[in-house]
Structure 1
Amino acid sequence: MKTLNRFKSKKVLVLGLGKSGYAAAKLIRGLGADVTVNDRSDLSKNDHARDLKATGIRVVDSGHPLELLDGIDLMIKNPGIPYTNPMVQKALELNISIVTEVEIAGLLSDAPFIGITGSNGKTTTTMLIGEMMKGSNYAPIVAGNIGTALTSVVQKATEENVIVAELSSFQLLGTREFHPHAAVVLNIFDHHLDYHGTVENYAEAKARITANQTAADALIYNADSERVVTYIAEKSRAQKVPFSLKTKVADGAYVSEKVIYFKDEPIMKADEMGLPGEHNLMNALAAVAVAGVYGVPKQHIADVLRSFKGARHRLEYVDVVQGRTIYNDSKATNIIATSKALHAFPGKEIVLLAGGLDRGNTFDALIPELKKAPIKAVLLFGQTQKKLLDACEKASIPVIREVENVEAAVPEAFALSKPGDVLLLSPACASWDQYKSFEQRGDIFIAEVNKFR
């Protein structure tokens, strides 16, 4: 890890004590900074807060007092805290530099970065790239939005490693000098507009992933996405490596006659992949393009695509129980993710479990997908139950049941299905109305399914 004097004796405020805040605070403190951590929650019983205090870091909880900004040189903000937060607004007024831990990690890392962003498919693609890069001259470390703070891994990463980082728009918006050697942009949909305001602002945040790249770097991008091309690829200075499901892109990755290619060299048959669904084929092409750029042998790339079964909670194959094939797609927290999941099982009838946090949107955009998909029944729960009920009725779903939660939905799903069917949890909503996280929701789903073994 690089040791930079730029943080020595600087007054740094870490806003939000999550995984990234904890790791960043410890790291910056070790580089000689005067660190204060602030969180709106009560941290009196928080182990991380106690540990930080033991190292001489000041911890202020239960609110965001503006006086903490007095004399502050740098704010390291939790990505999920919006810029409308009064503390952040005041910091902007005071011209205090505001970054996320991605920026700190990028400045300190000896290892190069492969950064992956997009509205959907980030986690699956990041994991695929991590597995493929094991066939390169680098030892990959997978981190970032996938669950491991980047500031915790840069301390052990060397020039022999490559950090494969899943990056959200929230994280990227707080970068200034971050410079990945390879940047991957999967897609841009109308997501997180409550945070960014407009799709243009959202795209600009995503574009930060390539803002500091040069011709010595690579931008791997979705040539089928007009927004990705217009907002990001056309403006990038990096070497451009496209991937496409629609077009033969000779300088990138594509599918032709059901075979996956990279730079016109065949890799494997597309139907041999371990992951179902056209959207996962697109994720695979992105990963193939990255691996191709790094010279990973074709056989290793193919082996990974055949054996990889997916990220946890992202169209995760669970098992066959009483003849039903079970998939946990709890990470499908929006309409687009669920739409893709519904078309991942050609020739199979689906019992769908859906619902969750109401963010104010309707589900009209889901209606055409519900009509096209082979759905025999839907179980609805959570705050969006009535809105989804309306969409399902408009889509003429034959059986629609309202249930209290996932726990109640699983036995109903078994009762309404037969051997050969797919039972799919793909909520199209966030989980926070009834569960702490989409992970908890998915784990509960699997636990309830296991009762039918």
Structure 2
Amino acid sequence: MEFLGARLKSKVENFSVKNKKVLVVGLGFRTGLAAANFLVSAGARVTVSDVKPADELADVIARLDGGVRVMAGNQDPSLLDEGSDLVVLSPGVPATIPLVAEARHRRIPVIAEIELAYRFLKGKIIAITGTDGKSTTTSLTAHILGEMGHHSMAGGNIGIPLVSLVETARDNSISVVELSSFQLETVDTFRPDVAALLNVSPDHMDRYSGMEDYFAAKCRIAMNQKENDYFIYNKDDAMVRSSLAGIASCPLGFSLVDPGADAFIDGSALLLREGGKAKPVLDTANMRIVGVHNAMNTMAAVLMARSILRMMNEPVDMEALRSACYSFRGLEHRMEVLGEARGRIFINDSKATTVGAVTMALKSLP
């Protein structure tokens, strides 16, 4: 990676990683690797720790930039004894492990890779979380904005670490970021211009003490938003609605059943509320992605695209937006029609890993 130190400017006052000792906890195959290489390019002195032994990490270690020190098979708190100015946590690593607890005890800042990237990322940010539909909604939102002529980039939990976007982001870029609850646990100053909470249902209960703990992690997506930011939310989800009590930004709701929502469905028509009046935007029957759940995803994406363009004082070309929605092909393994044989249609929905996702997929079938 190109040396970025000379041209990096942090959004957070007095924050710099140049010449700082940074410990990246969790190498993984994407996020930890990207964070470590980004930090090297920013002038940091980087150590990476992972519980896996070196032989299991050989391929990833080979992709680290020069100068990164690797402590494989070791996440002992004693790693901090050599001095650390910052700890960057990969999303798969629980914030409760002894190493992280000791870092906090020593008052060493502990942040997520998402937080690290945010502090240097130029342009606007749309952030999306929820139990189901995150990847489709992230991809659709980025597709809409790209088709409308804007420099949009998708990243985060969708498979492209956010720090990987810092090098190419411009002042007029729009980063559309998928966020898991894991990634949100250790954000600090992260403030998306537009945030979305799509839905909440039981998931990752092996990591959280219960639904309230899981939901609290999701709600961190909007904790730093201000009144001129936007919060897009699912009006049909009671738990999501309850999040509004702690939201300072402008809420815009979408619904399958409430014609008073900012976006809603009437038959197969998707309507947006504008100045108190509801106007049809598109016919979901003409979209390539099908099902009630994708109608929800589309409403969220349309609201987010409109909101971010208004923040940028850019015109919202509804014809271009409609065309972009119709051209979106969807993602692999998500209600993906593979073909037909002997009168049977075969659908790959292997990404439906929660009860809620499977239920919504079944409801979409005729």
CA contact (8 A) 1:242 1:249 kept: no
Residues 402-428 of structure 1: CA deviation (Å, up to 9, x unaligned): xxxxxxxxxxxxxxxxxxxxxxxxxxx
The alignment partner of 2:27 has SS state of: coil
Report the CA distance between 1:279 and its aligned residue: 1.0
The alignment partner of 2:128 has SS state of: strand
In the alignment, which residue of structure 1 is the partner of 2:233? 221
Q: Which amino acid aligns with 1:66?
A: P
The alignment partner of 2:217 has SS state of: helix
CA distance in 1, matches of 2:191, 2:347: 37
| Alignment pair present for 1:299 and 2:319 | yes
Identity %, equivalent residues? 36
CA distance in 2, matches of 1:212, 1:2: 23
CA distance in 2, matches of 1:145, 1:76: 16
In the alignment, which residue of structure 2 is the partner of 1:66? 77
The alignment partner of 1:266 has SS state of: strand
Aligned with residue 209 of structure 1, among 203, 207, 221: 221
In the alignment, which residue of structure 1 is the partner of 2:67? 56
Larger displacement relative to structure 2 (92-101 or 41-50): 41-50
CA contact (8 A) 1:270 1:281 kept: yes
Q: Tell me the TM-score normalised to structure 2 length.
A: 0.88
CA distance in 1, matches of 2:150, 2:328: 20
In the alignment, which residue of structure 1 is the partner of 2:164? 152
CA contact (8 A) 2:138 2:178 kept: yes
In the alignment, which residue of structure 1 is the partner of 2:185? 173
| Alignment pair present for 1:40 and 2:51 | yes
CA distance in 2, matches of 1:287, 1:165: 12
CA contact (8 A) 1:135 1:297 kept: no
In the alignment, which residue of structure 2 is the partner of 1:287? 301
In the alignment, which residue of structure 2 is the partner of 1:95? 107
Report the CA distance between 1:322 and its aligned residue: 4.4
CA distance in 2, matches of 1:288, 1:106: 24
| Alignment pair present for 1:277 and 2:291 | yes
CA contact (8 A) 1:141 1:161 kept: yes
In structure 2, relative to structure 1, the CA distance for the partners of 1:172 and 1:230 (3 Å cut) is same
Q: Which amino acid aligns with 1:97?
A: P
Aligned positions of 1:5-20 closer than 5 A = 6-18=16-28, 19-20=30-31
Report the CA distance between 1:186 and its aligned residue: 0.2
In the alignment, which residue of structure 2 is the partner of 1:239? 250
Residues 168-193 of structure 1: CA deviation (Å, up to 9, x unaligned): 11101110011111111101112222
CA contact (8 A) 1:309 1:316 kept: no
| Alignment pair present for 1:335 and 2:355 | yes
Unpaired segments ≥5 residues, structure 2: 1-6, 310-314
In the alignment, which residue of structure 1 is the partner of 2:271? 261
Report the CA distance between 1:137 and its aligned residue: 5.4
Residues 371-394 of structure 1: CA deviation (Å, up to 9, x unaligned): xxxxxxxxxxxxxxxxxxxxxxxx
| Alignment pair present for 1:345 and 2:355 | no
In the alignment, which residue of structure 1 is the partner of 2:119? 107
Residues 226-253 of structure 1: CA deviation (Å, up to 9, x unaligned): 111212x232111111111111135x21
CA distance in 1, matches of 2:67, 2:267: 62
Greater Cα radius of gyration, structure 1 or 2 = 1
Larger displacement relative to structure 2 (257-266 or 312-321): 312-321
Aligned positions of 1:307-322 closer than 5 A = 307-322=327-342
Q: Tell me the TM-score normalised to structure 1 length.
A: 0.72
Aligned positions of 1:126-145 closer than 5 A = 126-136=138-148, 138-145=150-157
CA distance in 2, matches of 1:2, 1:237: 30
Report the CA distance between 1:43 and its aligned residue: 2.9
Residues 173-225 of structure 1: CA deviation (Å, up to 9, x unaligned): 11001111111110111222221212222122111111111122111111111
CA contact (8 A) 2:148 2:324 kept: no
CA contact (8 A) 1:277 1:341 kept: yes
The alignment partner of 1:183 has SS state of: strand
CA contact (8 A) 1:223 1:229 kept: yes
CA distance in 1, matches of 2:109, 2:101: 12
CA contact (8 A) 1:220 1:240 kept: yes
CA distance in 2, matches of 1:114, 1:2: 21
CA distance in 1, matches of 2:103, 2:296: 40
Report the CA distance between 1:166 and its aligned residue: 0.5
CA contact (8 A) 2:148 2:320 kept: no
CA distance in 1, matches of 2:9, 2:60: 24
CA distance in 1, matches of 2:176, 2:214: 22
Report the CA distance between 1:341 and its aligned residue: 1.4
Unpaired segments ≥5 residues, structure 1: 347-453
CA contact (8 A) 1:144 1:150 kept: yes
Q: Which amino acid aligns with 2:270?
A: I
* CA RMSD across the alignment: 1.8
In the alignment, which residue of structure 1 is the partner of 2:4? none
Larger displacement relative to structure 2 (4-13 or 279-288): 4-13
CA distance in 2, matches of 1:218, 1:180: 9
CA distance in 1, matches of 2:328, 2:157: 20
Aligned positions of 1:397-416 closer than 5 A = none
Report the CA distance between 1:30 and its aligned residue: 2.1
CA distance in 1, matches of 2:44, 2:194: 31
CA contact (8 A) 1:143 1:150 kept: yes
How many residues end up aligned between the 2 structures? 343
In the alignment, which residue of structure 1 is the partner of 2:197? 185
CA distance in 2, matches of 1:88, 1:285: 39
